[in-house]
């Protein structure tokens, strides 16, 4: 925490040479008649835009003042209203008033030996505070009792006292023994500072929409946990629970159809192309703050990459004072967060029997369900003999819970250690981290090693800085997030089969047909435990992010800054599938499969160069901050891959053990050149104006549209500073802001505007000819291909009441993304069927609201915040004819429809309306030709009295929620702290395609327990929603419909932490400055009606934004319980 506070103090520009200019330039005009000093100081704040800071035990704020000022300088006002013995100075746009201990000075030229004690506001000694003679190199630090001794101190000197997390103070040298020096936490400073693109600013001066989470609000569990539910309008979803699975972030909805929708990530000022690179580089213990630029005006400074929002990650820096060592460690375990209720072996046997009987009686209505297999002619109709013991009710039979077999309790360990400190000119922060996370699915896990060095040097005119962060990780993956992975296989596998045979080998009876051969039809279900353990899929990742900057103050207020950065990533993947593991669909008794080995390596190299000029000027209440700059960035990628087969055995489990059968290579690059400018102006902190423009030239676009221009403007009015607000002392903040901007999206392929060729083979010559390799056109050129652009309007209101004990933030916005990149049909005489053009438009409208409360009662602190946001998405244009876009999720009739007037990616399905309960109902209602009693009843959408698979589909919902919300709260009292974070989503739908397998009522694989509510007869129709069991499905029951669509709303306990900080006077006996113990629980419960593992799932992404919200069987989320230790010394 202390590092975080000092960092933000460093980010504020402090120049004492401006003190006299600003104090004399700011004026006050007002008549006060018998008004309290605190009221007068409030008026000074309103008229000057400066903040007044003082301690109530040093300043009599109830002293009555009667005075008249007309264009009086701040010096004149303060000299008149303050008591003798008080001094004041300007620091970081704040007037700091404090008590002076200055007495009669010693004779001229005399030097003294000075001693004193430095304490915090609670009177606790501060260990390691820096005590220096102002302007001199001479100094010392406080000892374990907060005491210091400094010799040879010149008379009339000032002592500068600083410590991480506290306001730096200057003390005049008076007596040789100073009284206790009290340091004040700089929490007010921290709350006021916001990091923006190419700089930082006070929160009260912000005129755009920026969300912020500071270090004290971040758990150490991961990036997604740091921000989920804490920022209105920022939706964070974790679609998979596998170790190192990244979160998906959407800022104010989805504004693209074919391009990337991820925000831009900027780490310590360096824009990174890949989110995984940004997040793997950063250990959350090293993070100072996270800001998200939500509107186009704040994001436009990043031009062509700002349309989806910008995530700014700032890491910790060093601070003056004695080196501080901090250690954060935790150990814990993870468990499956939810089990899906499935049939046990006996229930499955009855269900499978009914499925085969359903097929038999459909083909032979006059037959009996008791007929033996010998009279049943079709394989679908025969009941597997292995089920007979279960149907007879025999005890002690195999009854495998395949979820218990696949999932495990998995340990997780985290360690992080850092050292920070520095002197008057140099400061450093060094850290190292280690994470070892086993996955809850067997044979999956993630291990990461990371380090960081942040170093700064600052003299009167020059500042240098270096940030260096390497990391290395190893990820063991399992095939999970698809319709053939271990997750869906564990659910489908009949519980009548064991995991292992009696000899300890894996059981493959569920793979393909039943033991006695091809007479018994069942789906191929492969043993998921064997799949996980007999397949090696390991990815190693080496990452290096480094940047250097040099800053020179040319003249007072004018600074030149040069920075250079590089980001290197190398991914290496080794894959091997053992010969013991059969291919899915092979019968268990077939010979072993041929092993397969794959090897691939991919490296990315990104470099960035930036040159900026920054100018700051303050005069007569006018404050100006301007920046201009030029940046250049290039990204290069190279990839190679090989695959080998024909292995003799499994002894050599890589491509060297087989014969290479295929291989490939790829090399790509893109470049970006940019000019940028921004000016920020305010008058007395009351009237605020900001304007920016950026011009980007990108290699990704056609020569006629290579350069894009992205302007923005925002204004703000701090109404609280107006005269008419003085009679409302309970209002501490009131600001109105508005912004407009244009930003872009260049997240497309690197060569989509270029004509492309592909290798092809041709038969040439007479007769049979000969096969000759050649080239063929694969992509038509488009010199007009350009950016997708987003035009956004934002209006916001900030309110603070009762000295910020109650705060409100409200934003309303509209963003129109136009020139969307879509495929448009073109004449086939060109040799192509379509061409990508800038033709579409999408609109997002939304509102965001945040309320916060902050209280401190005699040492009991309570902070809470609630946010809610709603976004509405609408397609406005889809090309010349506005033809709808219909896409498939890869299975029978699982369609999505994107059309004008509707959101992107609507589900477009048959509408299921219960089941036919009797023959009369079937005869009276439109139905498919082979529908029977007990089959699904579908709605005749077009009303023509006939059912049609295409014409009777309808738009039935969307993955986009109606609104999102979050609530977080923290309590602290006498060393005990408790915090929790709730997050929710309301009104979205999920296409649960797992149900096509485990709720299809065919009886060929295991089923969810809803099968117990199936239609069984006219007399026993079940719950009226679940169709009859039938191995050979009729009535199009197996087609994807609203039967597979579920409500995805949920409320989740994201994190809860209980901690205890031991008393300082106790831990100091052991040489420590602080010691905290804590327990943390993550993802402890989720309230939802969704029947799958995770209501955040979306794992069919081949069509991006067009096919969201599909559940094919994703790696489940885990509950995590951790015990941790925070210690510093």
- The H or E element that residue 329 is part of is strand 321-336
Contacts of 761 by beta carbon, 8 Å cutoff, 6+ apart: 771, 772, 773, 774
Helix, strand, or coil (residue 851): strand
Task: Print the SS3 string covering 572-607.
Answer: EEEEEECCCCCCCCCCCCCCCCCCEEEEEEEEEEEE
Q: Bin 751: left if φ > 0, else alpha if -120 < ψ < 50, else beta.
A: alpha
Contacts of 364 by beta carbon, 8 Å cutoff, 6+ apart: none
Q: What's the pLDDT at 820? A: 94
Q: What's the pLDDT at 2? A: 45
User: Domain coordinates of the chain in residue numbers?
Assistant: 2-185, 345-399
Long-range contacts of 1068-1076 (CB under 8 A, 24+ apart): 1068/125, 1068/127, 1068/144, 1071/144, 1071/1129, 1072/1127, 1072/1128, 1072/1129, 1073/127, 1073/128, 1073/324, 1073/1128, 1073/1129, 1074/1126, 1074/1127, 1074/1128, 1075/1125, 1075/1126, 1075/1127, 1076/1125, 1076/1126, 1076/1127
The class level of CATH for 2-185 reads: mainly beta
Give strand ranges (E) for 826-952: 834-857, 860-878, 885-888, 895-898, 906-910, 912-915, 936-938
| Cα dihedral sign, 104-107-113-118 | positive
Helix, strand, or coil (residue 10): helix
Give pLDDT tens digits for 975-1020: 999 999 999 999 999 999 999 999 999 998 999 999 999 999 999 9
Q: What's the pLDDT at 191? A: 46
319-352 b/e with 16+ CB inside 10 Å = b? bbbbebebbbbbebbbebbbebebbebbbbbbbb
Q: What's the pLDDT at 515? A: 45
- In whole angstroms, what is the distance from residue 680 CA to residue 699 CA? 31
pTM, to two decimals? 0.82
Helix, strand and coil content of the chain, in percent to the nearest 5, comes to: 15, 45, 40
Q: Is 226 exposed, middle or buried (0-12, 13-18, 19+ CB in 10 A)?
A: buried
- In whole angstroms, what is the distance from residue 972 CA to residue 798 CA? 27
Residues of the chain with pLDDT under 50: 1-25, 102-108, 187-191, 513-517, 588-589
Residues 787, 745 contacting (CB under 8 angstroms): yes
CB atoms within 10 A of CB 151: 11
Tokens of 922: 């079937």
Tokens of 955: 């738009």
- In whole angstroms, what is the distance from residue 331 CA to residue 228 CA? 23
β-bridge partners, 237 = 248
Residues 200, 1029 contacting (CB under 8 angstroms): no
- DSSP tag of 881: T
């Amino acid at each position: 925490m202390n590092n975080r506070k000092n960092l933000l103090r460093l980010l504020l520009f402090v120049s004492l040479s401006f003190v006299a200019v600003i104090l004399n330039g700011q004026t006050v005009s007002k008549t006060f008649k018998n008004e309290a000093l605190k009221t007068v100081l409030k008026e000074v704040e309103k008229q000057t835009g400066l903040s007044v800071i003082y301690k109530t035990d040093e300043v009599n704020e109830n002293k009555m003042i009667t005075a008249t000022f007309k264009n009086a300088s701040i010096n004149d006002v303060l000299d008149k209203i303050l008591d003798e013995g008080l001094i004041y100075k300007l620091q970081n746009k704040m007037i700091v008033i404090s008590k002076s201990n200055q007495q009669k000075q010693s004779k001229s030229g005399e030097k003294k030996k000075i001693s004193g004690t430095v304490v915090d506001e609670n009177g606790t000694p501060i260990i390691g505070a820096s005590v220096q003679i102002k302007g001199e190199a001479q100094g010392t630090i406080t000892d374990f009792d907060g005491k210091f001794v400094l010799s040879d101190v010149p008379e009339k000197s000032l002592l500068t006292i600083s410590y991480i997390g506290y306001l730096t103070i200057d003390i005049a040298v008076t007596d040789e023994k100073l009284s206790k020096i009290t340091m004040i936490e700089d929490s007010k400073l921290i709350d006021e500072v916001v990091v923006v693109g190419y700089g930082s600013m006070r929160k009260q001066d912000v005129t755009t929409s920026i969300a912020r989470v500071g270090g004290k609000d971040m758990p150490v569990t991961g990036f997604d946990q740091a921000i989920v539910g804490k920022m209105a309008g920022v939706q964070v979803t974790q679609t998979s629970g596998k170790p190192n699975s990244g979160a998906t972030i959407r800022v104010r909805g989805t504004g693209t159809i074919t391009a990337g929708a991820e925000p831009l990530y900027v780490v310590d000022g360096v824009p990174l192309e890949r989110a995984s690179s940004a997040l793997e580089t950063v250990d959350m213990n090293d993070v100072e703050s996270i800001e998200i630029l939500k509107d186009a005006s704040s994001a436009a400074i990043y031009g062509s990459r700002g349309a989806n929002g910008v995530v700014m990650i700032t890491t910790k820096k060093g601070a003056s004072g004695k080196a501080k060592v901090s250690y954060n460690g935790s150990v814990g375990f993870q468990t499956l967060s939810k089990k899906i209720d499935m049939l046990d072996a006996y229930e499955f046997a009855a269900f499978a029997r009914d499925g085969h009987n359903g097929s038999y009686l459909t083909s032979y209505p006059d037959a009996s369900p008791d007929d033996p297999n010998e009279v049943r002619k079709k394989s679908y109709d025969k009941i597997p003999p292995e089920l007979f013991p279960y149907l007879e009710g025999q005890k002690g039979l195999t009854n495998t819970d395949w979820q218990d077999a696949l999932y495990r309790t998995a340990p997780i360990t985290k360690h992080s250690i850092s050292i920070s400190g520095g002197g008057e000119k140099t400061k450093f922060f060094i850290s190292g981290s280690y994470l070892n996370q086993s996955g809850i699915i067997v044979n999956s896990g993630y291990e990461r090693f990371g380090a960081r060095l942040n170093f700064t040097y600052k003299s009167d005119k020059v500042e240098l800085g270096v940030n260096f962060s390497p990391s290395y990780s190893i990820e063991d993956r399992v095939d999970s997030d698809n319709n053939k992975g271990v997750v869906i296989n564990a659910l489908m596998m009949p519980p009548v089969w064991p995991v292992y045979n009696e000899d300890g080998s894996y059981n493959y009876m569920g793979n393909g047909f039943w033991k006695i051969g091809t007479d018994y039809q069942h789906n191929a279900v492969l043993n998921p435990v064997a799949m996980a353990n007999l397949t090696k899929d390991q990815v190693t990742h080496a990452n290096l992010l480094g940047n250097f900057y040099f800053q020179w103050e040319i003249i007072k207020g004018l600074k030149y800054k040069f920075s250079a950065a590089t980001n290197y990533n190398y991914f290496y993947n080794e894959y091997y599938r053992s010969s013991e593991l059969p291919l899915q669909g092979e019968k268990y008794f077939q010979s072993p499969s041929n092993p397969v080995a794959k090897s691939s390596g991919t490296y990315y190299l990104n470099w960035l160069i930036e040159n900026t000029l920054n100018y700051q000027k303050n005069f007569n209440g006018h404050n100006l901050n301007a920046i201009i700059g030029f940046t250049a960035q290039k990204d290069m990628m190279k990839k190679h891959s090989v695959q080998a087969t024909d292995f003799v055995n499994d002894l050599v489990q890589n491509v060297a053990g087989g014969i290479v059968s295929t291989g490939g290579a790829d090399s790509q690059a893109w470049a970006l050149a940019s000019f940028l400018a921004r000016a920020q102006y305010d008058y007395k902190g009351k009237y605020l104006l900001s304007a920016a423009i950026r011009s980007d030239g990108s290699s990704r676009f056609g020569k006629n549209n290579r350069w894009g221009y992205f302007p923005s403007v925002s204004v703000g009015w701090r109404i609280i500073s107006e005269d008419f607000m003085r009679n409302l002392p309970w209002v501490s903040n009131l600001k109105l802001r508005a912004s407009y901007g244009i930003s872009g999206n260049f997240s497309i392929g690197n060569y989509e505007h270029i004509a492309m060729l592909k290798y092809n083979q041709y038969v040439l010559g007479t007769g049979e000819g000969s096969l000759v390799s050649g080239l063929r056109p694969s992509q038509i050129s488009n010199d007009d291909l350009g950016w997708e652009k987003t035009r956004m309007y934002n209006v916001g209101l900030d309110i603070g009441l009762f000295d910020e004990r109650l705060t409100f933030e409200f934003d309303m916005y509209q963003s129109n993304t136009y020139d969307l990149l879509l495929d448009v049909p073109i004449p086939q005489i060109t040799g192509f069927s379509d061409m990508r053009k800038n033709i579409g438009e999408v609109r997002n409208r939304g509102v965001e609201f945040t309320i916060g409360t902050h209280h401190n009662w005699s040492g009991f602190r309570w902070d809470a915040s609630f946010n809610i946001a709603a976004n509405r998405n609408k397609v406005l244009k889809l090309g010349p004819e506005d033809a709808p876009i219909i896409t498939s999720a890869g299975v029978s009739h699982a369609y999505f429809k994107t059309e004008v007037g509707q959101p992107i990616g609507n589900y477009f399905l048959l509408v299921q309306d219960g089941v036919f309960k009797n023959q009369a109902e079937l005869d009276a209602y439109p139905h498919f030709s082979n529908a029977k009693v007990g089959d699904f009843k579908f709605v005749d959408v077009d009303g023509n009295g006939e059912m049609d698979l295409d014409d009777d589909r309808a738009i039935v919902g969307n993955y986009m929620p109606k609104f999102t919300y979050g609530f977080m709260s923290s309590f602290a009292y006498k060393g005990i702290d408790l915090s929790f974070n709730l997050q929710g989503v309301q009104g979205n739908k999920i296409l649960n395609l797992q149900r096509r397998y485990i709720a299809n009522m065919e009886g060929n694989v295991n089923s969810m327990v809803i099968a117990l509510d199936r239609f069984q007869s006219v007399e026993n129709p079940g719950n009226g929603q679940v169709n009859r069991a039938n191995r050979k499905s009729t009535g199009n029951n197996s087609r994807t419909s609203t039967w597979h669509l579920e409500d995805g709303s949920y409320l989740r306990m994201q994190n809860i932490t209980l901690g205890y900080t031991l008393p300082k006077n106790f831990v100091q006996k052991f040489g420590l400055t602080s010691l905290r113990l804590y327990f943390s629980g993550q993802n402890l419960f989720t309230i939802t009606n969704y029947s799958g593992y995770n209501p955040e799932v979306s794992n069919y992404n081949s069509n991006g934004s067009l096919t969201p919200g599909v559940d094919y069987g994703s790696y489940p989320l885990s509950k995590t319980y951790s015990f941790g230790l925070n210690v510093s010394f």
